Amino acid sequence: MTEPRRVDLLHGVTLKAMLEHLVERYGWVGLGERIAIRSFTHDPSVTSSLTFLRKTPWARDKVESLYLHSAAHPRKTPRESSTAD
């Protein structure tokens, strides 16, 4: 008998798309709090973060894991972008 295929939830999702999703959801500060990576906490940018993540497998694994968690648990209400006075 053949085994059922495992569904790869990351199939077709680029690292850039994952990072942009996480920044939109958590912001750079929240992302830096969840994953201790200097490119998230000191002068963050998508370009510098992608460069680091492509060279560092453990960091990429953490980003992928957080992305999968956030995709599986969407926010019930949209995050407010403005702050209260």
What predicted TM-score, i.e. pTM, was given to this entire model? 0.77
Fold classification of 15-72 (topology level): 1.10.720
| 38-58 tens-digit pLDDT | 999 999 999 999 999 999 999
**Amino acid residing at 77:** T
pLDDT per residue over 58-84, tens digit each?
999 999 999 999 988 887 765 555 444
- CB 11: neighbour CB atoms within 10 A? 6
Give alpha helix (H) positions in the chain: 15-34, 38-41, 46-55, 57-72
